[in-house]
Amino acid sequence: MGEEEVNAPLAIVEVLDRDGQVRHAQRVPSWPLSIGRALDNELSLGDPYLAPHHCVIELDANGLGLRVLDSANGVQIAGARHLRAGEREALADGEHAVEISAGRTRLRLRRPGDALAPELPLAASATLLRRGAPVLAAGAGLALALAFETWLASDPDVFLRTLGTTALTTVMGAAVWIGLWALLSKLFTRQTHAGWHLRVFLFSSLAWMVVGALPGVIAFALSWPWVSDFGFIAGYAIGAAALYYHLLGVEPSRPRLMRGVAVTAFVLGTALTLWKQEQRNERLGAELYLSSFQPPALRLARPVPADRFAAELAALQPLLDKKAKEENATENGASDDE
């Protein structure tokens, strides 16, 4: 047995920052390894949410395990199992390092058998085309979609002027949006992640425009008005996904919490919109009819016979009469008050 093998540590316990960067690494020459605020621990930490002797990683007949000592806050392992005082969890050899949360401190236990993630390339070592191709493609797609939408909505005489205004507004809005998210990332992770936020903005904006146009086309082609009525839900889903990925650039170490925030925003936004439409229109759908007609070539549904169409219209007569009486009663009441 060589000198290197004798001096090789049994494990390394890393103290992580909130962004997952290693702040301190503690070599473990032998077991047990005690963790806490007291100075007689092998790993002494200044976290006020730790007990003087918080937990210990020990080796016994059952193998390596973590045991919680006299602690009120306990220990969380791998973001899932929460151990209370006196409980023990086996730390079986696996393919990945084990993350441990004790108090407000994040620890990572690395052992010789744990697999290492591949080396990340530096920005300079990757080709510019490979890194920038998806961003350029998304940017070009968004620009073409905005140009096409502007062309449909404007007169030919003012198309170029309207397009310039739209392009300038979009670029300025994107710069402010990405800059704010980059500032938040800088505050929390010490890195701007501007490229990440730019990609999220481009892909989510392009997806938003697609899901904004598709419901009307599908509703017209198949005579499914409900697709157009509730098409806004798909837009909210895109917005929630964009919010989740933006938040990952700000707080990458808590994906479950960020996912919960995005899902909550989606549910609340959808519920409030449905409630508002019910209060305003007495229906959950967003539109009473298609706001725009699509090219006839896209029509796939069979035409409705005239007698069937008239019969379906006749079924609306009682509802219309009821609405008319309610409006007349309201107007008469207002006149009496006057």
Task: Tell whether 328 is covered by a domain.
Answer: no
Q: Are residues 179 and 263 in the same domain?
A: yes
Q: Are residues 136 and 250 in the same domain?
A: yes
CA atoms within 13 A on the CB side of 28: 23
Which three-class secondary structure string do you get for 181-234? Answer: HHHHHHHHHCCCCHHHHHHHHHHHHHHHHHHHHHHHHHHHHHCCHHHHHCCHHH
Q: Are residues 181 and 276 in the same domain?
A: yes
pLDDT digits (tens, 9 = 90+) for 65-92: 999 999 999 999 887 789 999 999 888 7
Q: Are residues 52 and 96 in the same domain?
A: yes
Q: Are residues 271 and 139 in the same domain?
A: yes
Q: So what's the pLDDT on residue 189?
A: 81
* Whole-number Å distance between alpha carbons of 214 and 321: 35
Number of domains present in the structure of the chain: 2
Contact 198, 177 (CB under 8 A): no
Q: Are residues 143 and 70 in the same domain?
A: no
pLDDT digits (tens, 9 = 90+) for 156-198: 888 889 989 989 999 999 999 999 999 999 888 888 889 899 9
Q: So what's the pLDDT on residue 334?
A: 55
Task: Tell whether 228 is covered by a domain.
Answer: yes
The answer to pTM > 0.75 is no
Q: Are residues 37 and 148 in the same domain?
A: no
The type of residue at 210 is V
Task: Tell whether 119 is covered by a domain.
Answer: no
Q: CATH number for the domain including 56?
A: 2.60.200.20
Structure tokens at 185: 């990332």
Q: Are residues 154 and 94 in the same domain?
A: no
Task: Tell whether 134 is covered by a domain.
Answer: yes
Q: So what's the pLDDT on residue 2?
A: 47
Q: Are residues 73 and 143 in the same domain?
A: no
* Whole-number Å distance between alpha carbons of 269 and 261: 12
Q: Are residues 26 and 71 in the same domain?
A: yes
Q: So what's the pLDDT on residue 178?
A: 94
Q: So what's the pLDDT on residue 55?
A: 95
Task: Tell whether 324 is covered by a domain.
Answer: no
Q: Are residues 136 and 267 in the same domain?
A: yes
Task: Tell whether 89 is covered by a domain.
Answer: yes
Q: What is the extent of the structural domain holding 226? A: 130-281
Q: Which residues of the chain have pLDDT under 70?
A: 1-7, 19, 94, 122-131, 287-292, 329-338
* Whole-number Å distance between alpha carbons of 158 and 172: 21
